[in-house]
A and B are shown apart, each in its own frame.
Chain A
Amino acid sequence: MADKPPRPALSEDWLAVLIAFSLIALAAFGVLGKNGLNVVF
Chain B
Amino acid sequence: MTRNSSVPGLIVMAGLAVGAWWLTRQVAGMALPFGIPGRALEYPLWAALVGLLANFGLKRTGLYAAVEPGLKVELFLKIGLVLLGASVSLALLAPTALGAVVQGLVLITGVFLFSWWLGGRFGLDAKLRAVMSSAIAICGVSAAIAAAGSVLAKKEQVTYVTALVIVVALPLMVIAPALAGALGLSQTVAGAWFGGNIDTTAAVVGAGTLYGETAQKVASVVKATQNALIGVVTFLLALYFTVVVEGKPGERPSLRLVWDRFPKFVLGFVAASLLYTFGLIDGGRGTPLEALRNWSFTLAFVGMGLQLSLSDLRRMGWRPFAVFLITTVFNTLLALGAAWLIFGVWLPPAG
Contacts and interface: CB of A to CB of B under 8 A. Distances in A.
B21 interface: yes
B260 to A, nearest CB: 10
A6 to B, nearest CB: 17
Contact of A40 (B72, B78, B291): B291
B21 A41 contact: yes
Interface in B287-321: 287-292, 294-295, 298
A20 B281 CA distance: 13
Given A13-B78, A20-B83, A21-B82, A33 B268 contact: no
A23 B83 contact: yes
Interface residues of A, number: 20
A12 to B, nearest CB: 5
Given A27-B288, A28-B280, A38-B288, A13 B79 contact: no
A16 B82 contact: yes
- Interface of A (DSSP majority class): helix
Interface in B231-266: 263-265
B182 to A, nearest CB: 29
Contacts of A33: 287-288
Contacts, number: 71
B264 A23 contact: no
B272 interface: yes
A40 B21 CA distance: 11
- Interface of B (DSSP majority class): helix
A41 B75 contact: no
A30 B72 CA distance: 28
11 contacts: A12-B72, A13-B265, A14-B264, A16-B82, A17-B267, A19-B79, A20-B78, A20-B79, A24-B272, A28-B280, A41-B21
Interface of A: 11-17, 19-21, 23-24, 27-28, 32-33, 38-41
Given A12-B75, A24-B281, A28-B280, 10 more contacts: A11-B264, A14-B264, A17-B78, A17-B265, A17-B267, A20-B79, A24-B272, A41-B21, A41-B291, A41-B295
Interface of B: 21, 72, 74-75, 78-79, 81-83, 86, 263-265, 267-268, 271-272, 275, 280-281, 283, 287-292, 294-295, 298
